[in-house]
Amino acid sequence: MSETVLHQHKWIDVVKYRWVWFGLSLLLIVPGIIAMVYSMINYPTHYPVKVGIDFTGGTISQYSVKKDVPNSEIGNLRTKLINAGVENPVIQVLRTNNTISKAEKLNTATVISVKTAFKSNDKTAEQKIANVITADYPGAELVQVSSIGPSLGKELFVNSLYALGLAFLGIVVYLSFRFQLDYAVIALISLAHDALFVLGFFSILGIFFDVHIDALFITAVLTVVGFSNHDTIVVFDRIRENSRFLAKKATFPEIVNASVNQTLARSINTSLTTLITLGALYLFGGETTKEFVLAMIVGIAIGTYSSIFFASTLLDWWREKQENKKRGAAA
Amino acid sequence: MKNKKIMFWMIIALTIVAALIIIKKPTKLGLDLVGGSRIVLEAQTTDTIAKITPDMMSSLQFAIENRVNALGVAETLVQQTGEKRLLVEIPNVSDPAKAKEFLGETAELEFKKPLDGKYGATGWISSGLTGKDVKKALISTNPGGQWVVSLEFNDKGTKKFGELTSKMVGQSMAIFFNGELQSAPTIQEPILGGHAQISGGDSGFAYEEAKKMVDLLNAGALPVPAKIIEESLVGPTLGADSIAKSKTAGIIGIGLVMLFMLLYYRLPGFIADIALIIYSILVFAVFKIVPVTLTLAGIAGFILSIGMAVDANILIFERTKEELKAGRTLFTAINAGFDRAFTSIFDSNMTTIITCVILYFLGTSIIKGFALTLIIGVVISMFTAITVTKNFMHLLFGAGQLKHPGWFGIKQSEIGKAYEATETKKEKAKFGILD
């Protein structure tokens, strides 16, 4: 077996430079971890990232307006509110003709409801909203202000984390059944590597650029985790296959190198096609999903990196350690 | 060859049926895209509950969330507002009238003892056994053919019920639901098995009545009574322009992906593009059949699942190219390409499915929707990217030789130089390799 497989030109020797990749991974992840720890200590919410209204709740203000508000005006109003310094407002148009509460009977047909992360006693913030709305809809009247709780409260958030933990356990069980336990654990480490990077990245964005995450962000992280796992398994599958055929002719590091290089075109092309779609969504899509898309772009980039350079070399390093231990025991 | 032609026409027929479903059935869109109803619930103080505490409000929110989930009302938003109110937003598709009917019900189940120690002619007193002790409620029929509600108690409830019935042999035990007496059977003997039945008195329950009670009991009682105080129609959270923009972006993105596949993989890329169109049609049809309530997150998830579908084809084509470069005939290269890529496609998709199933059953509303769309996408992509593409490739190329390497995006000079696979005898037979 052949020279052609183990020594081609255009060959990346991933195993040889493994300390470079481990170092690079640390460099990518540590700043994010620092940012997350900082955030957990300093933010009143104690979340590792700056969270938006979905997690914190805020205020709901309702303005009755004299004319009907078509949906096409919502985007415009949202932009104006953001320009006035109101963060991530959620705007909805209510038709309250069937209001059943007598005490709060509203005679107007249309109400603009604005949910923001402000505290309900923040008068200056309230004024900002009022200014924008009365400028566009003369005669608009504030009919109701009240606090609003999180739609994704801490309890739900923690429950979701438990679900995720269980899902990870499922992955490990399946992979150790189909591959081997060390493949499974390393796939999980590589997955945590990617999730931590994305969380850290947004934690840093939160500190320096005041970027808030919303409930959609959780979906983005889940997608990233899924993709990263896909990538890692494709490389591991090739290592598994090559090990079967090459075990007697090549060393494990050589097999890892061959496998990474054989799957390289696939890894890059798959990420490329996904990044093309995401790039289009980022550049041409709506404002509201920008951060969601950004999280996925960052996650898929790191997922591709980790499957090529991190997971495979980590597996090789682990196998080498086991080998040395065995040899040590034999001697 | 004959089988392949039958398969081909089956794929075409399936696609046409799916396309018809898409045209006929309306799409269910979520709150963010089309809006729905906004209902404000207010917690009510009672004789026993003098003040509404924040703790009560969070358990009320939890109970209401459980209840809308039990109803199958997808993508509902429940938020606390003010000190003792809950704001519930329900997408239009989920029958707000039915949801409303369920929201206000306290669903308080109570077992009561007779004051006079026999029939309760002078009134009933609480026995301490309530809906909280119920593990599960089921709808069933009694020997008389009437609809009844069967209860299964949890461990604590089983013990309580056993003790009560042991002490109360010969007496009646009354079952109250929402303060109304449902039935008061006489206890013949101690019941230790942890099961009980509620019959609707002499006339029995109507099916709807029993079903509603079961749904409410399974979703759990509200810790405090709540009343609907406001109800209005609510518009989408995303403006029409934002939705239109995302649509355009999605179309541009998919178009670019298809162009990439065509340029890089040539003829197989073209086949993959057709498979991708079939994939989109099938996925959307399934979304409508299930039905999946589409939100922006769901649509983004769908666009991403296209990425996973394309990935399967990239894996296969890269593998086919390797085999061709190793000098295989076209037929064996295609077979080997599909077969070798299959394990990695299968294993990676299986982990995705495992994750999604767990997230679907344990996750919160937004995660549930995401998991559901992803499971549908992954399962269908295995069909289109593997079965459909393979079928088309075989029909197009037959058992012929590779005459135009350019069709596969490789050069004549590359053939015979690169990767060299080692086959087992079994594989050789499977791929049709002749030594």
Is B81 close to A60, i.e. CB distance below 8 A? yes
Q: Number of structural domains, chain B?
A: 3
CATH code, domain with B154: 3.30.1360.200
Query: Bigger pLDDT: B279 or B55?
Result: B279
pLDDT for A95: 75
Q: Could you tell me if B154 and B243 lie in one domain?
A: no
pLDDT for A147: 85
Residue of B nearest to A151 (CA): B79
- Candidate from A94-108, A186-200, B343-357, B397-411 with smallest mean pLDDT: A94-108
- What residue numbers bound the domain in which A24 lies? 3-48+153-330
Cα–Cα distance, B404 to B268 (Å, whole number):
13
- pLDDT > 70: what percent of chain A? 92
Give the model's confidence band at B70: pLDDT under 50 very low, under 70 low, under 90 confident, else very high: low
Contacts of A227 in chain B (CB under 8 A): 304, 307-308
- What residue numbers bound the domain in which B166 lies? 109-208
Cα–Cα distance, A254 to B342 (Å, whole number):
24
Mean pLDDT of all residues belonging to chain B:
81
- The alpha carbon dihedral of A301, A304, A308, A313 has a sign of positive
Mean pLDDT of all residues belonging to chain A:
84
pLDDT at B218 over 80: no
Q: Could you tell me if B60 and B170 lie in one domain?
A: no
ipTM of the complex: 0.80
- pLDDT > 90: what percent of chain B? 10
A296 interface with B at CB cutoff 8 Å: yes
pLDDT at A200 over 90: yes
Residue B223 counted as domain residue? no
Cα–Cα distance, A132 to A72 (Å, whole number):
17
CATH code, domain with B340: 1.20.1640.10
- The alpha carbon dihedral of B13, B15, B19, B22 has a sign of positive
pLDDT for A106: 47
- Candidate from A130-134, A188-192, B267-271, B293-297 with smallest mean pLDDT: B293-297
Residue A53 counted as domain residue? no
Q: Which two tokens stand for residue A296?
A: 């996925």
- Looking from the CA of B161 toward its CB, the CA atoms found within 13 Å total 26
pLDDT at B39 over 50: yes
DSSP for A47-74, please give it: -SS-B-HHHH-EEEEEEEESS---THHH
Q: Could you tell me if B275 and B365 lie in one domain?
A: yes
Residue of B nearest to A235 (CA): B344
SS (H, E, C) B82-93: CCCEEEEEEEHH
Is B233 close to A276, i.e. CB distance below 8 A? no
pLDDT for B428: 64
- Going from the C-alpha of B193 to that of each of B110, B176, B196, the distances in angstroms are 19, 21, 9
Is A100 close to B229, i.e. CB distance below 8 A? yes
Q: Which of A231, A276, A297, A307 to mutate to test the interface with B (most CBs of B within 10 A)?
A: A276
Residue of A nearest to B261 (CA): A273
Boundary-marking domain end, from A129, A148, A167: A148
Is B252 close to A234, i.e. CB distance below 8 A? no
Identify which of A163, A246, A284 has the shortest CB distance to residue B245. Answer: A284
Q: Could you tell me if B191 and B97 lie in one domain?
A: no
Interface of A with B in 185-214 (CB under 8 A): none
Contacts of B367 in chain A (CB under 8 A): 160, 163, 218-219, 222
A171 interface with B at CB cutoff 8 Å: yes
Identify which of A75, A222, A281 has the shortest CB distance to residue B253. Answer: A281
> In the predicted model, what is the mean pLDDT of residues B184-193?
83
pLDDT for A128: 87
Q: Could you tell me if B204 and B265 lie in one domain?
A: no
pLDDT for B399: 64
Residue B228 counted as domain residue? no
Helix crossing, B296-325 with B365-382: angle to 10°?
Answer: 30
DSSP A98: T
Residue A158 counted as domain residue? yes
Residue of B nearest to A232 (CA): B348
pLDDT at A249 over 70: yes
- C-alpha R_g of chain B: 30
CA of B121 vs chain A CAs: smallest distance (Å): 40
- Residues 6+ positions from B49 with CB-CB distance below 8 Å: B56, B224
Q: What is the pLDDT of residues A30-75, one digit of tens each?
A: 999 999 999 999 988 888 888 888 888 888 888 888 777 887 788 8
